[in-house]
């Protein structure tokens, strides 16, 4: 009996620990049990958390916890850290900086790593469900994108920038397979602050607080289970005397 209890308790604690994992790339990391990315001295709220919000609605929902709108400088530094291209991104208020990713069958691009960390903001499930579909994305190489509005609005024209990262993807269209390039781009003066789109979020950051833990500690249920094991073992010792 005691062995069964110990086995059950160990499985419980192991299952709780397996619920969280650490995703990392080039100095940026996210505990999968949390909704923010840590890197460069900042915490970035995952971009899919604010999907479909305006700047004001995103700030109203999250500024009480210290979140603020990401600046031009912070976004350029983030993009440069991921090394999407040999050309450096700048914090310029106007103008667009567009880079394309050649289709790559290995699926190991920094673009895919970025979307995995920051979240997919594409709101539709357009993956192919059957061979009869004529316009859809291949399930093994579907469309993944992280897109947000951000910026400092340095020129005071109420226009904010758009940051977008998408991995390459394979589209099925009229019986053909089209290999599409990915993208990592910053679009200057792109949106008014009160605009909202279902497929993009709002980039919010705050100062780093507590770094994510690689190995999550057991919760109260796990500790209770271990305590029961100890009590049962102690009771068995007493009865055996």
* Residue 84 near residue 165 (C-beta atoms within 8 A): yes
Task: Determine the pLDDT at residue 210.
Answer: 53
Task: Determine the pLDDT at residue 51.
Answer: 96
Task: Determine the pLDDT at residue 238.
Answer: 45
Torsion of CA 87, 101, 184, 142, to 10 degrees: -170
* Residue 100 near residue 180 (C-beta atoms within 8 A): no
Dist CA 107 CA 101 (whole Å):
11
The candidate with the shortest Cα–Cα distance to 203, out of 146, 145, 124, is 146
Burial-class residue 4 by CB neighbours within 10 Å (0-12, 13-18, 19+).
exposed
Task: Give the end-to-end CA distance of the chain in Å, rounded to a whole number.
Answer: 18
Task: Determine the pLDDT at residue 19.
Answer: 62
The encoded tokens of residue 7 equal 């086995």
Task: Determine the pLDDT at residue 49.
Answer: 97
Dist CA 58 CA 173 (whole Å):
36
Helices within 28-99 (DSSP H only): 55-62, 72-82
Q: Is the dihedral of CA 46, 52, 57, 60 positive or negative?
A: negative
Report the chain's C-alpha Rg in angstroms: 23
Going residue by residue through the chain, which has 241 residues, state the pLDDT in tens, using 9 for 90 and above: 444 434 444 433 344 444 679 999 999 999 999 999 999 999 999 999 999 999 999 999 999 999 999 999 999 999 999 999 888 999 999 899 999 988 888 888 999 999 999 999 999 999 999 988 889 999 999 999 999 999 988 888 999 999 999 999 999 998 899 999 999 999 999 999 899 999 999 999 999 875 544 444 444 444 444 444 444 444 454 445 4
């Amino acid at each position: 009996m005691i062995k069964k209890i110990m086995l059950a308790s160990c499985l419980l604690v192991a299952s709780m620990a397996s619920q969280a994992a650490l995703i990392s790339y080039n100095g940026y990391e996210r505990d999968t049990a949390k909704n923010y990315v840590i890197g460069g001295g900042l915490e970035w709220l995952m971009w899919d958390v604010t999907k479909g919000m305006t700047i004001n609605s995103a700030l109203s929902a999250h500024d009480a916890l210290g979140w603020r709108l990401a600046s031009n400088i912070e976004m350029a530094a983030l993009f440069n850290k991921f090394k999407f291209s040999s050309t450096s991104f700048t914090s310029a208020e106007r103008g667009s900086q567009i880079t394309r990713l050649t289709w790559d069958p290995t699926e190991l691009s920094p673009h895919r790593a970025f979307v995995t960390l920051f979240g997919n903001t594409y709101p539709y499930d357009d993956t192919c469900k059957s061979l009869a579909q004529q316009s859809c994305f291949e399930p093994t190489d579907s469309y993944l994108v992280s897109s947000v509005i951000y910026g400092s609005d340095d020129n005071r024209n109420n226009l904010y920038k758009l940051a977008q990262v998408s991995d390459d993807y394979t589209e099925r269209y009229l019986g053909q397979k089209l290999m599409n390039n990915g993208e990592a781009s910053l679009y200057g003066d792109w949106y008014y602050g009160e605009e909202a789109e279902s497929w993009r979020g709002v980039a919010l950051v705050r100062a780093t607080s507590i770094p994510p833990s690689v190995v999550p500690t057991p919760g109260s249920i796990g500790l209770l289970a271990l305590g029961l094991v100890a009590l049962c073992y102690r009771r068995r010792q007493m009865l055996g005397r």
